[in-house]
Amino acid sequence: MNIKEILDQESDQKRFMLGNEAAVRGVLESGVSLAATYPGTPSSEIGDILFNIAKDANIYFEFSSNEKVAIEVAAAAACSGLRTFSFMKHVGVNVAADSLMTAAYMGVEGSMLILVADDPSTFSSQNEQDTRHFARQANIPLFEPSNPQEIKDYIQYAYEISDKFDIPVIIRTTTRVSHMRAVVETGEYNKNTKTHGEYENIGLHVPVPEIARKMHEELVGKIAEIRKVSNTSPLNQIIDNDANVGIITSGGAYNYVADIVNKYDLNVNILKLGFTHPYPEDLVREFLENNKEVLVVEEVDPIHEIETQAIAGKYHINTNIHGKRDGTLPEIFEYTPDIIINAFENLGLFEVLKREANTPTLIPLPNRPATLCAGCPHRASFYAARQAIDSLNLDVESIHPSDIGCYTLGIAPPYNMANFLMSMGASVGASCGFSKATENQPIISFIGDSTFFHAGIPPLINAVHNKMKFTLVILDNRITAMTGGQTNPGIPIDGMGDEAPAISIEDLVKSIGIEFVETINPLNVNEMIQIYKDALEYDGVSVIIAKYPCNLINKTEIRSRNYIIQVDQDECIHCNKCIDKLACPSITLVDDKISIDQTCIKCGVCIDVCPVSAIKKEEVNQ
């Protein structure tokens, strides 16, 4: 679908939309004035679309420096009477949580929605955490759509709840729901006209203890009233088939249940939950009383299951409740239709379901480990670091805290340049810890430019103040690459696509008192190796800024390279250094012959790596 079609103002149109595209349409139809995010898969496409349409939609949009800032921007604007939108991936809520918890206390004068995309099975994340815990901890209403149409519709419903109760709300999607495509029927959309509000200090938005206690009391009262709404909400519905076996499910998990129930024509009742916090106690109680056996199907944690069991205990209902806690369903990873079938069969509630056997292929599939792109500047940085470390001939292991981004792939051999990772910015904080806890073990840590702005600056200040010793490599590839190429504060473009001041990483690093700061094009491998050696000898915090654009944004320059890189087979000594040490995917070894294939982007790093100059540039006649 053409992105601009999302701006189509005709209602009752049917579009084939990605879940994240439907989210943008829901935001437009809801009259949002301001949106803020830090990009994170599986929610990234929302920001990419808003970046392209914000001006046409008359919406202010920004890529904030991190999720906490995004929440603060949206909350302040909502307290000024605007309708605002913030979105992120599940681990982004960890960063935002400090302000998110207080935002619930303070409430909003306008309205505020936070969309959080969870990642069951950790396809692009470091954990499987469940955002529904945060909603309960913060006392924020939560909604769980199961398809793109529901994403769009739930967004409008969620804003109505936010308006009515002056409270932020959360929509929780998952990877499959965010990236599902389906037909979406659009509603009425009128271009936003409210670009500014007015802040009035009616609510005393300063939660000092005396005020915070009152805020908490009011919040608890709001949730009690909202619970009444969730019990009768059209987002929660019972599909009654006059059976005595029931399934309680929500979000993406509902799709697997519906597929199996429909495919095998199973006689079950289904309670489909869309408004899941506050949990609809009365509705669940009614469902339990009408079913002898109930299976709770949800991703990721057994949150609905625990609440359902609590309701059964509170009202002395003897229904047998199954789910993750009794082992009927797995506690980890996303679900599949087979997992749901196994659960049904293990409970013995139905006859064995006849499944079509999958015929295994006779052709063994090769392993496809994730790898850096051909010509990625990070590869050169890792290669140079490994050469510098190996040249020291140490008796101890080097330490390499890494961070969240493409460069996490430095964990793989032959680089082995990532052996400790926690969260955004933790490469720097962890380096501080290793600096104090170890002795004689060299520390080279890595962080990307966007991640540095996100969470790397405070721990670097800590390192200087507390006199640490390590080398930090800031991999400045001029973009937020892993999530698709979004801007960050180091780029001279803002979230509206306008020219903006680019923050100099070098000036910023020097301003906090770091004296060893070197900026280099990492493709100059031999020079890079020497800088690593100098940095490792420096007694203090040393910073290397490896600055070269990601291939995704450097295509024009790449296409202008009017040469090819080839291996002179007569001069090649088959040392295999380009294969074993550099490991560029464009260089292959077949029948004892090293060759460079058409995926090569002609970065030239392999020319420096070859010890006998057998790899050469060859000009191409134009």
Class at the top of the CATH hierarchy for domain 237-347: alpha beta
CB 615 within 8 A of CB 586: no
Q: What is the pLDDT of residue 96?
A: 95
Token couple for 554: 């450097």
Measured CA to CA, the distance from residue 444 to residue 434 in angstroms comes to 11
Measured CA to CA, the distance from residue 466 to residue 437 in angstroms comes to 13
Please give the C-alpha separations between residue 396 and each of 382, 417, 442, 481, 533, in angstroms, as whole numbers: 19, 15, 9, 34, 17
Neighbours of 54 (CB within 10 A): 19
Query: What's the chain's length in residues?
Result: 622
CB 456 within 8 A of CB 425: yes
Q: What is the pLDDT of residue 395?
A: 85
Annotated binding site for [4Fe-4S] cluster, which residues? 572, 575, 578, 584, 600, 603, 606, 610
Using only C-alpha atoms, the chain has a radius of gyration, in whole angstroms, of: 27
Beta strand 320-322 with 444-448 is: unpaired
CB 585 within 8 A of CB 561: no
Name the residue ranges covered by the structural domains of the chain: 3-232, 237-347, 377-555, 561-619
Does the pLDDT value for residue 47 go beyond 70? Answer: yes
Task: Give which of 387, 447, 382, 458 is closest to 421, Cα–Cα.
Answer: 447
Q: What is the pLDDT of residue 3?
A: 83
Q: What is the pLDDT of residues 361-395, one digit of tens each?
A: 778 878 888 889 999 999 999 999 999 999 988 88
Give the residue with greater pLDDT, 308 vs 481.
308
Annotated binding site, which residues? 572, 575, 578, 584, 600, 603, 606, 610
For the segment(s) 377-555, the CATH number from 3.40.50.2000, 3.40.50.970, 3.40.50.740, 3.40.190.10 is 3.40.50.970
| Its pTM surpasses 0.75 | yes
Q: What is the pLDDT of residues 178-234, one digit of tens each?
A: 999 999 999 999 899 999 998 887 767 888 889 899 999 999 999 999 999 999 999
CB 354 within 8 A of CB 344: no
Does the pLDDT value for residue 432 go beyond 70? Answer: yes
Token couple for 569: 């087979």
Does the pLDDT value for residue 348 go beyond 90? Answer: no
Does the pLDDT value for residue 560 go beyond 90? Answer: no
For the segment(s) 3-232, the CATH number from 3.40.50.300, 3.40.50.2020, 3.40.50.970, 3.40.50.280 is 3.40.50.970
Token couple for 34: 């301001």
Q: What is the pLDDT of residues 260-297, one digit of tens each?
A: 999 888 999 999 999 999 999 999 999 999 999 999 99
Q: What is the pLDDT of residue 69?
A: 96
Does the pLDDT value for residue 351 go beyond 70? Answer: no
Confidence band of 66 (pLDDT split at 50, 70, 90): very high
Does the pLDDT value for residue 354 go beyond 70? Answer: no
| Helices 209-232/90-106 angle, 10° precision | 110
- Residue 621's contacts (CB-CB under 8 Å, 6 or more residues apart) are none
Class at the top of the CATH hierarchy for domain 561-619: alpha beta
- The sign of the CA dihedral 40, 118, 32, 104 is negative
Q: Which residues pair with 63 in a beta bridge?
A: 37
- Residue 204's contacts (CB-CB under 8 Å, 6 or more residues apart) are 211
Which residue stretches of 175-232 are H helix?
A: 175-178, 209-232
CA end-to-end span of the chain:
37
Please give the C-alpha separations between residue 228 and each of 14, 224, 294, in angstroms, as whole numbers: 34, 7, 23
Q: What is the pLDDT of residue 2?
A: 80
Fold: same for 237-347 and 561-619: no
Phi-psi domain of 602 (left: phi exceeds 0; alpha: psi -120 through 50; beta: other): left
Task: Give which of 399, 403, 418 is closest to 482, Cα–Cα.
Answer: 403
Q: What is the pLDDT of residues 123-165, one digit of tens each?
A: 889 999 999 999 999 999 999 999 999 999 999 999 999 999 9
Q: What is the pLDDT of residues 14-46, one digit of tens each?
A: 999 999 999 999 999 999 999 999 999 999 999
Does the pLDDT value for residue 622 go beyond 70? Answer: no
> What does DSSP assign to residue 206?
-
Does the pLDDT value for residue 357 go beyond 70? Answer: no
Mean pLDDT value across the chain: 93
Mean pLDDT, residues 311-329: 96
What percentage of the chain carries pLDDT values higher than 70? 97
Q: Which residues pair with 565 in a beta bridge?
A: 617
> What does DSSP assign to residue 32?
-
The amino acid at residue 456 is G
